Structure 1
Amino acid sequence: MSAPSPSRVQAYRASILHFRADPAFDTDSHAWHEDGLLIVEDGRVQAAGDYAQLRHTLAADVPVHDCRGKLIVPGFIDTHVHYPQTDIIASPAPGLLPWLETYTFPAERKFADPGHAREVARFFLDELLRCGTTTAMVYCTVHPESVDAFFAESEARKLRMVAGKIMMDRNCPEFLRDTAEGGARDSEELIRKWHKRGRQLYALTPRFAPTSTEAQLQLTGELARRYPDTFLQTHVAENTDEVAWVKSLFPASRSYLDVYDHYGMLRPRAMFAHCIWLDDHDRARLHETRAAASICPTSNLFLGSGLFDFARADAARVPLALATDVGGGTSFSMLQTMNEVYKVARMGGTYLPALRMFYLATLGNARSMQLEGTIGNFAPGTEADFVVLDPQATPLLKRRTSRANELEELLFALALLGDDRTVAATYSAGRRVHLRAGSEHAEFAS
């Protein structure tokens, strides 16, 4: 259950960090207030800055919640995650395709049952909020009931979520197969029902090119043009076996990404998961079309898919995003995802500062989704989605952060040593939606 509505204005005193730009390309990328104040009014950010400067702007009756010793950052954003795969996280398989056949498809079959879908959606959203994730791009199943269940649970909590019905009409079990026309019709009905209803947003969701006929991809592209403010999400170039399969199915296409490009699916608000086995022409097309690459390090390592190439992606100025990809991914925590993406980058010869990892998980992901100005930082008027992080959450984290001499050291320790225990509280549109067990209730508004 969500907490009761807060007072009209709330203020939070803590260290505050948020971003204006990508630290990889802009030296003036972030705002850091060691003794800061975040002021929230009617679910939106009114101001964020130094406590000494902002405290005089508060009316005498505005409560100031004292969170000193903790760090407030914008709510984490996950750009690629499958809620129906919650129950198959950490399932053993030798690779992506056998993992789909053995675990994923049987699990997704159960989502024709609205009761089952609703129960899993509740647990899934609880887990996201426990890890500090306030927005996610979510795959449902082929069943429209799975979408209704997810959005109903999200709407009840007043969360900003993006989700969509999977579309697949071939190369999958009969019990999960739709048709080109049926999938498009269901998707359009769901768009009309849910897109921009409160904080809910719809994503056209063809699973990946091998499970859609050319007719289905054609209709998806038509829907993308008919509803340009919707999102689009799918997978591309995750592993070499998959790439070879796509080549055999679409021999006339220049590349895997080119299959989607041919059908008009590269556009702003399109999110392509993985993007490991791309070439420079593909990367240039992502940049030109403002479609984004969603990096899924725990999933790529778990399934042995490969390492994302940061150097080539940055050289092409590809819009980058970060994601957990549960259930191929092995954690709902964006902090643990930072831990793994740091290692993936190092193995590929790139050093990722912690500052950039936090950027990717917040404003970077919002930008990749074309949602800057709505979520992702503390610019005045943005929705007040934020996380209170505790640098003393575990004995080891407390010991390491107590020796941090600069912001980068503090963030690096949080990224490499942090997990769900580090999240003291999570807020969505100014409402507390998660409080860590054992946290001092007096610190946090309800």
Structure 2
Amino acid sequence: MSEPTSIEPHPSAHHHVARMSGRDTLEHHRTATTLELLFDLTFVIAFSLAASQLAHLFAEGHFTAGLMGFGFATFAICWAWINFSWFASAYDTDDWIFRSVTMVQMVGVLILAIGLPPMFESIDKGEHLNNGVMVLGYVVMRVAMVFQWLRASRQNPARRQACIAYVKAISAAQLGWIVLIFFDFSLVVTFAMVVALTAVEMVGPCIAEMRYGGTPWHAHHIAERYGLLAIIALGEGVVGTVASISAVVDGDGWNLDVALVCLAGTGLTFGMWWIYFLLPSAEVLHHHRLKRSFVWGYGHIPIFASIVATGAGLHVAAYYIEHKAHISSVATVLTVAVPVALYIGLLYAMYAYLLRQTDRLHLWLLFGTALVLAASVVAAMAWLDMAMCLIILMFAPVVTIVGYEAGGHRHRMAALERSLHEGEAAR
């Protein structure tokens, strides 16, 4: 009998302290880690609370308060996620220190999520913005983030200036966030401070990446991370579909409307998922790291917001079916149609930005999409059943899918080849 061979321990078999020297930007088979997936679960809660609050206010007809609160909430959620994800793409060591600090950041996300309902309520009542709990959660996350950047600055001397630029921007903004906890400002002043503090934080990445050589983030990895968050956001569409189905079943029992609502909600969510992954994000970012990463990275915030808002619209449709909504059928359909229109329009705009090309085919597809969206609104104006209105809406992303599968894929490949060639020539 042969002697048993010894098994060499895999580098990830333990989680001893590792040097935070930066990841390889050309690392093969770089994928999201299980820790990143666990971290994302906290954003499931945050998105869910934001969507449910938006749906409640929309169903009551409080559109201005709903939009203000939702805009503030989704920006805070997405901004927190973006900061962690880009850092992890560059400096994830997966040692016990990195894991522990990430757990602290997860606690901060949950605190932020808990603060969403009182924030929405304060805006709805026209009071001073009650965002103390939200900002507390944000402070917890940002203090942990500063620790991570300081660690990277010490252990990666070649990129020390870039890391310190992040530290300075976050720390300066952090003082402002803390002020928001202890002082009760008006809504206008608070939103003005949020805009100013966000601008301060954005200065850090701009200086770090463009002036000091940047950080070693991985293009394919970060594109995958954004895709995973898009899927998490799309989960609100599934939740909204279930709410709509439950509303029909509770009202009339199992009937044709149940099947139609199920098909409409699932089909709409599925179609939105399909067209998101037509974006050639990873390939373009790999060849155009600095020139196109900022707009791509921050431009996803309204994309994520429109996805979550679509799920909230499906919640509003459930309220309408249950006769709990205080708005018309047209307004109800618009709560779904408008975010779907924004989502599709933003994807086309992002495609044109990434590839630096506007295709005539895209104009026709957008026109067809607009017709479908308008048809759903007209159907509501004609007092067509809500289930049928949602069925019509379901075909909005299908226009793009059919156009891509019929011939758009050839346009995409040609445009991508030109973009990659330009990237190679610029190096």
- Structure-1-length-normalised TM-score: 0.25
Larger strand proportion, structure 1 or 2?
1
